[in-house]
Amino acid sequence: MPGDILDNKGRGEASWSWPPIHREARLFAGIGALACLLAALMTWETIAWPLGLLTICIAAFFRDPRRTTPRDDRFIVAPADGLVTLIQQVPPPRELTFDDGSGAPVLTSEPVTRVSIFMSVFDVHINRAPIGGTVRKVIYIPGKFLNADLDKASEDNERQHILIERGDGLAICLTQIAGLVARRIVPFIKPGDIVAAGQRVGLIRFGSRVDVYLPKGTSPRVLMGQKIVAGETVLAELGVDEMIEGVAQ
């Protein structure tokens, strides 16, 4: 059950189960299922079968599997399933580097490490909080729909910044970025909400990317080209800045 405590000593129960489908699928899967039913009733089998397959694919896209999140204040967990395609030293988003009078924390413009996670249409698209804390800002920015795998997508594409602050003042920004196919960013949270690490914070429909800006002096524990899992993969450990190498094989 969600909220169960598990550990590396054998405590807890683990079993495989079909992942539930998020409620955001109802409209899209419902339209597909209705079209499939109508085609079947009209005996248009050549159309009904593809529509049935499309309905299944839509439901699979909105799957929302249970995740087991490591509980440690030193850990920043991955906010998205997907492939690590960029690790760069860049300034934080400019929208978060000035005081808007809300009392929310302000990030400095000094470059930090940004980890970009590309989500294909085959990945789970539910995004999760990298740390626990209070949601201080949710900033939506209209933009283009370029390939989300491109570096300039962070500045040009439609995107949404989420700033989460812990009780000790640590603030982490994640940015949901729409892509070529993705046309809708759906938030589950709003400013003032309190979230736990690994908690669901939103989704992006049909292919996209998520950027995470790590604190100064913290380097990622993931590698370029690594496949990671939202809410489970430890993206970084606070204060640990070291080189990690891997081998593609």
pLDDT at 79: 97
Rounded to two decimals, the pTM is 0.85
| Amino acid making up residue 169 | G
Are 123 and 144 contacting, i.e. CB atoms less than 8 angstroms apart?
Answer: no
pLDDT category of residue 223 using cuts at 50, 70 and 90: very high
pLDDT category of residue 47 using cuts at 50, 70 and 90: confident
Between 118 and 99, the higher pLDDT residue: 118
pLDDT at 60: 83
pLDDT at 126: 93
- pLDDT at residue 1 greater than cutoff 60: no
CA distance 147 to 128: 22
Choose the catalytic residue: 15, 102, 208, 219: 208
Are 127 and 204 contacting, i.e. CB atoms less than 8 angstroms apart?
Answer: yes
pLDDT at 180: 66
- 123 by Cβ neighbours in 10 Å (0-12 / 13-18 / 19+) ranks as buried
Q: HSE of 85 in the Cβ direction (CA atoms, 13 Å)?
A: 21
**Span 153-198, pLDDT tens digits:** 566 678 899 999 999 999 999 999 986 655 678 899 999 999 999 9
120 is catalytic: no
Question: How high does pLDDT run on average in the chain?
Answer: 88
The domain ranges of the chain are: 1-68, 75-237
CATH architecture of 75-237: Distorted Sandwich (2.70)
- SS3 state at 190: coil
